[in-house]
Amino acid sequence: MSFGALTLLVLGVIVVVAVSVGSLGVHAFTHHHVPGRPLRRIVRNPRLWGLGLLLQVASLLTYSWTLLVLGLVLTVCGHVLRPTG
């Protein structure tokens, strides 16, 4: 396998992961629940969790460390904090 083929393979995997994580984030942010039974037990605040996932995908597209860290913080807060109201 040449270097070009390996690069295209890695790029394809990154695109597939980014699209799937982005769709999970949009679903959680707009519908206020996460898909799947295991995620529903783990995630306490789906909107924060979904917004964090969307920011992480945006950091991949813009090469921004700030968005990545902010997305990680929001994703962890979505696991820890309970929604109010």
Residue range 13-49, pLDDT digits in tens: 999 999 999 999 999 999 988 988 888 899 999 999 9
Contacts 24+ apart (CB under 8 A), 66-73: none
- Alpha carbons 21 and 1: distance in angstroms, whole number: 28
pTM of the entire predicted model: 0.83
Judge contact between 32 and 49, C-beta under 8 A.
Answer: no
Sketch the domain layout of the chain as residue ranges. Answer: 18-80
Amino acid at site 50: G
HSE-CB of 43 using CA atoms within 13 angstroms: 25
Four-CA torsion 33, 38, 41, 45, nearest 10 degrees: -40
Under the banding of pLDDT at 50, 70 and 90, the label for residue 85 is low
